[in-house]
Amino acid sequence: MQQKRHDSSDCFPSLLYEILQNTSREKILSKKLNAMISLAILLVSSNFVVFQVHAAAPTDTFAVGWNGPPMDTINPMLVTVYDGGAYMVNHAMYDKLVQADSNGDPAPDLADSWEWKDAQTVVFHLVHNATWHDGVPFTAADAEFTINLIIANKDFFPLMRTYVTSVDSAKALDDYTLQINLKNPDAKFLQASLIMTYIVPKHIWEKVGNYTSYANENPIGTGPFKFVRWEPNSFVEFDANPDYFRGPPHVKHLTMRYFSSVNAMILALQSGEIHATGPILPPTVVPLMTSNPGIQVISRPDLRYYYFNFNAFANGTGNPTLRDERVRRALAYAIDKKTLAQTVWQGFADVLNSIMPTALGKWHNPNTPDIPFDLDKAAQMLDEAGYKVGADGIRISPDGVKMIYKIQVPSSYQEELRAAQMVAEWWSKINVKGIPELVEVGALGDIVVNWKHDTFIWVWSATSTDPDDFLLVFTTEQICVPGCMSDSGFSDPEYDQLYQQQLQATDAVQRQQIVWKMQDIVAEHVPYVPLYNNYAIQGFRSDLFTGLPQGIVPPVSQFAGNNLFVNVRPVVPVTTETTQMTTQITTQTTTTQAEVIPTATIAAVIVIVIVLALVGVLLMRRRKPAS
């Protein structure tokens, strides 16, 4: 048979051109290709065009999307991190003794009121009407059991353990009175620790043999929602608890779904498949949400800050020039924090002058002297300190050590790599060499713990508005080999003294003054260059639901307190409710006004595709060959 010799592997673009230009009747396929390409181009460019959110049908199921660490356990004791999905799902089912109000101060939860008998003893008066999801009444025995359970198993409860470090014991004085004895005075015990500690039922948990891997298949809590079912790392479904002691929630169902792609999550928010996002969104998706009238974007400073660290530890193996305070100060003059905040966070961050995040309100000292961006001053300081420029263009210390530093960024904060690169660029202008490097987070942890680093960019975060966590890092006792929490080697006796004072201070004003002074001391010696306090950004479908938290409520990047789940309600009350209707009212139909493809059509399409394939094969077999 004759065959046209045409090698289709050459001149691919011209082939495409030929195909696209051809309009003869036989070229139905190429027309389709043309259309496909146009559609693809259209779709790509329209990726940044926001489509109008059409009014979605009211629903009484509050759907939450989650893009952080997935929900991997429904056992509140085995939760590993407080900003993961697992912590959040337990939030809907379990309560704590106290919660945080909008100022971050302790407010009643399972405990109605409390008083401090002395600096180490606090007595709680518990609510009388709380019940577990299986109907058994909640009593002080459950709280006593839980706290003692955590203490007894603290090596296996990685997160809960951290909240009872200052607790000696808990005792139920009667059915609704609980006394907690602390090992040492801890002024912030309630708002930093107790607000995070879930209370579990004694009558179920005391029968568990092995606590290290208890699955907790059917969780029973006192919370506003009851567990229905879940798929690990995928989703959890809840039903409202009508007997919740603060009154039943205003939505009938709650669902939480894990999204592995933030783009998909925003799309789901826009289409109404979910009504809230968590934990926080990157600033780049904000334009996709703000142009939608149905979506409200909430952003507020998160309880964390990014910092640039110097290894100033005398026994470390990093570049020894960093142990010279003048060097650190000069290098700090060569970092433009405002530009970094703008580049990495698009302005969704507060530039910091001190090691306390602005999110902590009154604890942040606005008067701590800031180091402005001044390359000339930096160069001058280094010259004066004797760090002259060498023959290769890099400054050398009087001892002959070159000013070459690795700037390491953990893989969990990849966006900071850009910041590291910019710092290296500024440093090169003052003849200092910075080497930006992205390091796997576990490996960087090892490096830092062994004091092998030069400089790095990382984050400190906390779960409460109490400043203690942010101050602890700079105490002398946190310097260990291998490392504890200190990663700069900063040590100052006056600072250590003030730290103890603020821990025991009873007067808030006095404590604030101490905390402010501590920030000044740290700023003087520049173990860090504090960079910025980024904002937690979240999106809500405010056209469908109301009652959403507006301010900082610790732990701020989560749906904090029980408030969200208890207060959220549909904007338009859902009146019609039958068991059959539930399937219809849920997310499938709450999309744009384009048609929804019914199941039968999809099945038909698949069948047709297969049939067409077979028909094609049959046709092929009957075709007469060209001679």
Gap between the Cα atoms of 416 and 412, Å rounded? 9
Q: Which is nearer to other proteins, 140 or 164 (CB)?
A: 164
Q: Which is nearer to other proteins, 44 or 509 (CB)?
A: 44
Q: Which is nearer to other proteins, 87 or 138 (CB)?
A: 87
Gap between the Cα atoms of 461 and 306, Å rounded? 9
Query: Smallest gap, in angstroms, from Cβ of residue 213 to other proteins?
Result: 4
Q: Which residue bears the tokens 């459950």?
A: 142
Query: Smallest gap, in angstroms, from Cβ of residue 204 to other proteins?
Result: 18
Q: Which is nearer to other proteins, 248 or 442 (CB)?
A: 442
Q: Which is nearer to other proteins, 391 or 594 (CB)?
A: 594
Q: Please report, for the chain, how many H helices and E strands are present, in that order.
A: 18, 22
Query: Smallest gap, in angstroms, from Cβ of residue 506 to other proteins?
Result: 23
Q: Tell me, what DSSP letter sits at residue 117?
A: E
SS3 category, 102: coil
Query: Smallest gap, in angstroms, from Cβ of residue 301 to other proteins?
Result: 21
Query: Smallest gap, in angstroms, from Cβ of residue 52 to other proteins?
Result: 10
* Residues 222 and 94: beta-carbon distance below 8 Å: yes
Q: Is the peptide bond between 279 and the residue preceding it cis, with omega within 30 degrees of 0?
A: yes
Q: Which is nearer to other proteins, 209 or 393 (CB)?
A: 209
Gap between the Cα atoms of 299 and 364, Å rounded? 19
Task: Tell me the residue ranges of DSSP E strands in 44-200.
Answer: 61-66, 98-100, 106-108, 111-118, 121-126, 167-174, 177-182
SS3 category, 456: strand
Query: Smallest gap, in angstroms, from Cβ of residue 570 to other proteins?
Result: 14
Q: Which is nearer to other proteins, 86 or 100 (CB)?
A: 86
* Residues 288 and 76: beta-carbon distance below 8 Å: no
Query: Smallest gap, in angstroms, from Cβ of residue 222 to other proteins?
Result: 23
* Residues 436 and 421: beta-carbon distance below 8 Å: yes
* Residues 268 and 244: beta-carbon distance below 8 Å: no
Q: Which is nearer to other proteins, 72 or 374 (CB)?
A: 72
* Residues 248 and 240: beta-carbon distance below 8 Å: yes
Phi, psi of 170 (to 5 degrees): -130, 140
* Residues 556 and 549: beta-carbon distance below 8 Å: no
Query: Smallest gap, in angstroms, from Cβ of residue 595 to other proteins?
Result: 7
Q: Which is nearer to other proteins, 375 or 472 (CB)?
A: 472
* Residues 236 and 71: beta-carbon distance below 8 Å: yes
Query: Smallest gap, in angstroms, from Cβ of residue 70 to other proteins?
Result: 6
